[in-house]
Structure 1
Amino acid sequence: MLEQAKRYTGYTAYDYLEAGKDFKKFRYAEQIGRVPAYAGLDLSDSQRERTQRLLRDEIVISLHDHVQVFPEDMGQLREHIRAGREPTGYLGLSRSGMTAVFDNGMDGTCCISSDAGWKYTDVLFDLGVRMADIAHQDYVIKAESLKDIYHAHETGRLAHVFALEAATMIENEVDRLDVLYGFGVRQIGIAYSEANMLGGGLKERGDGGLTYFGERAVERMNKLGLAIDISHSGDRTAMDVIQKSTKPVFITHCGSREVWPTNRMKPDAVIRACAERGGVLGLEAAPHTTLSPAHPRHSLESVMDHFVHAVDLIGIDHVAFGPDTLFGDHVGLHDAFAANLSTKEAHGRVEYPKVEYVDGLENPAECFYNIIGWLVAHDYSDDEIRKVIGGNTIRVLEEVWV
């Protein structure tokens, strides 16, 4: 973890309002030090200096994270979400070393008006409120183009890219994609586990593939310059999207089913097809996802087993990281919203030891220091590290964004 970014002045979420008067006040999880620091990296002084240099000097992009802070008491989770003011973890982000983060919000659990989530008005409310907060400080900037990411890098800021894990909220209205783009959304998924009007999700018994409406939506996404994510789509739908899209697509947060055989992972055939069309796979680290036979207790090492497999499969030019972390008890979130998040269907009958957190990849503040440290310790070159921590993502965005 780096020292606090000089640009960050100590702003906390919604400081421009009066807590207790303008919004309900909660006690929130610690953004730094909630769990013990990762002890699995044994770096020499020179390796540590190299890790810090790469994290400090290079463009570092998370393809998928959730940068909100969650309540200390997860029993208050639904009350907190219904209040409609998810706080951005500015302090933790200031220690992350990231140049840009694709923040996917929590719209699958956005239960302001409905426990089912994914309601269009709720999503717009969530996006608007969080954008208003970002506009009141100077460290995190709303990013809508590569120019914004480069500007953040040059000025010591962090570029925040709004993204959504599914297009469920557009229902059968393709023009809603334009509205979301106008709000600043620059990446969107097709389906989140459950099937929707566009196509099949990974939890369904059968995947009928991309619908005719889904084809129209993908075409509109390409025209708008919306990056497409197929992480939670069913296998057939994912393949259809790869073939239909005129631009490369992302698998922003996933791993290989050949390494860990659950529906939450993508089969190598889909990963290979994505790469062959120019796309990129971001390695996932949400609790109990990217496990491996060698490291079934989820940790940085489990995730890097998927990384090594992916590099062997599709080459280092098509691999990145989308850790899918947050500030707070991620396992508690999964337990509280198991139905919304389809955790049972995603993991199937595969047995694994349950952990309280993913050691080494617990939150956005620590992920990339440990990822880069692992790569340094395993003798990857600076050029190889630059590719997987940001360069490969930049290459795709140069083709996709307008």
Structure 2
Amino acid sequence: MLEKPAGRYTGYTAYEYLEPGVDYREFRYAEQLGRVPPYAGLELSEAEKERTTRLLTEETVISLHEHVQVFPDDMGRVREHIRQGREPTGYLGLARSGLTAVFDNGMDGTCCISSDAGWKYQDVLFDLGVRMADLAHQDFVVKAETLADIRHAAETGRIAHIFALEAATMIENEVDRLDVLYGFGVRQMGIAYSEANMLGSGLKERGDGGLTYFGERAVDRMNKLGIAIDVSHSGDRTSLETIQASKVPVFITHAGARSVWPTNRMKPDEVIRACAERGGVIGIEAAPHTTLSPEHPRHSLESVMDHFTYCVELVGIEHVSFGPDTLFGDHVGLHQAFADNLSIAQAHSHVDHPLVDYVDGVENPAEAFFNIIGWLVKHGYSDDEIRLVVGQNTIRVLEEVWAR
């Protein structure tokens, strides 16, 4: 991570305009910096460190998928915390991340404010609204809805925060709800999150019925609105049919290659190729126990980069980026607490692998991109190649997808 906080950050902490214990329940939160030991797997020379820092601070660096909230230090209390609907943004960690822009997916499958089943429309709107209220009370992380917003954030020492959702489950059979979510600032949305919904099948289902007729209407509406479409958690047939139905490129914001690690959570070559052939991009995932590899079955930055190099060889460097899918706190503990909501067992197909407490080198948003860029520097990638995979590939897609 960067040695000093970046840009205009002044030390703001989430919801500091409110009175703890009066306006909301207090919890002890995980450390945003130094929760786990720093990554020791990269031995960069001073020149490589300088180049890594320069690329991280001077280029457009975009994470296609994160959850930038801070979770309770005691994950046994995570459901209590979520029920009050007030998740804190990790401003300090983001200030050390070097990110220009971040797609933040909020509570998503853990959005259990009023129902343990999650994905309720009113809960999602509540989550978005409360987070926006907090963003409005500070001047470092700014709500972004256009490419001009991303450029302005970069020019003024800020971070552009883009609201995203991993599934469209909460719209049920109401296509106009997409317009409402767009009005709230959502600029990227998945089709289904593991479980099938009115749009199509998720990756955990025994059978994949593909994109429904309603799903086709929703894809068309997202295209018209300028919402980028994500198929990371959709079934293979649903993913392919979504890519075909969309008039603009589609993202796989956070996944890896099934040819490298054979679980449903990874994408088969056919889907990755189809995404690239229509101009889309795959963001390489790093959430615990996802992007493993035979060479590096103990999840670490090296495992993640095995998926990166495979995808680059498969579809070309112009179609690969990063969506690490990290957060501030115990990500493994979150998966354990919400295993049923997140379909952990079905998505990972019970493939044996060593269990880890965290992903070494890609533990949270503060450290992820310094280590990713450092790895690319160490392995001989040019500045132009690094620019593509950490930001410019994403920008190219957004130029086609987002409303001007």
What's the counterpart of residue 274 of structure 1?
Answer: 275
Residue 106 of structure 1: CA displacement? 1.4
Flag structure 1 segments of 5+ consecutive residues without an equivalent.
none
CA RMSD of aligned residues (A): 0.4
User: Which amino acid in the other structure matches residue 161 of structure 2?
Assistant: H
SS at match of 1:222: helix
Q: How far apart, in 2, do the equivalents of 1:368 and 1:208 lie?
A: 37
Greater alpha carbon shift after TM alignment, 231-240 vs 343-352? 343-352
Correspondences of 1:79-228 after superposition (within 5 Å): 79-228=80-229
Structure 1 letter corresponding to 2:84: A
Mapped to 1, the partners of 2:348 and 2:271 lie a distance apart of 19
SS of the residue 2:282 aligns to: strand
Distance in structure 2 (CA, Å) of the matches to 1:170 and 1:117 = 13
Q: Please give the secondary structure, in 1, of the residue aligned with 2:56.
A: helix
Cα offsets for 1:369-392 (capped at 9, x unmatched): 000000000000000000000000
Specify the code of the residue in structure 1 equivalent to 2:28.
Answer: R
Q: Find the aligned partners of 1:112 and 1:42 in 2 and give their Cα distance.
A: 44
Q: Distance in 2 between matches of 1:106 and 1:260?
A: 27
Using structure 2 for the length normalisation, give the TM-score.
0.99
Letter in 2 for 1:160: H
Residue 54 in structure 1 maps to residue 62 in structure 2? no
Number of equivalences: 402
Aligned to 2:335: 334
TM-score by length of 1: 1.00
Please tell me the residue identity of whatever aligns with 1:168: T
Match status 1:7 vs 2:8: yes
Q: Quick one: distance in 2 between partners of 1:159 and 1:18?
A: 27
Aligned residue type for 1:68: Q
Aligned partner of 1:394 in structure 2 is: 395
Q: How far apart are the structure 2 equivalents of 1:6 and 1:160?
A: 15
Structure 2 portions without partners, runs of 5+ = none
Pairwise CA distance, 1:5:
1.1
CA separation in 2, counterparts of 1:137 and 1:109?
Answer: 26
- C-alpha distance in structure 2 between counterparts of 1:84 and 1:173, whole Å: 24
Counterpart Cα distance in 2 of 1:175 and 1:101 = 26
> How far did 1:107 drift?
2.1
For 1:97 and 1:217, locate their aligned partners in 2 and report how far apart those are by CA, in whole Å: 35
Query: Matches of 2:396 and 2:383 in 1, distance apart?
Result: 17
Structure 1 partner of 2:64: 63
Q: Deviations over 1:284-333 (max 9, x none)?
A: 00000000000000000000000000000000000000000000000000
Identical-residue share of aligned pairs (%): 79
Residue 81 of structure 1 aligns to which amino acid in structure 2? I
Separation in 2 of the partners of 1:208 and 1:377?
Answer: 44
Q: Which amino acid aligns with 2:386?
A: I
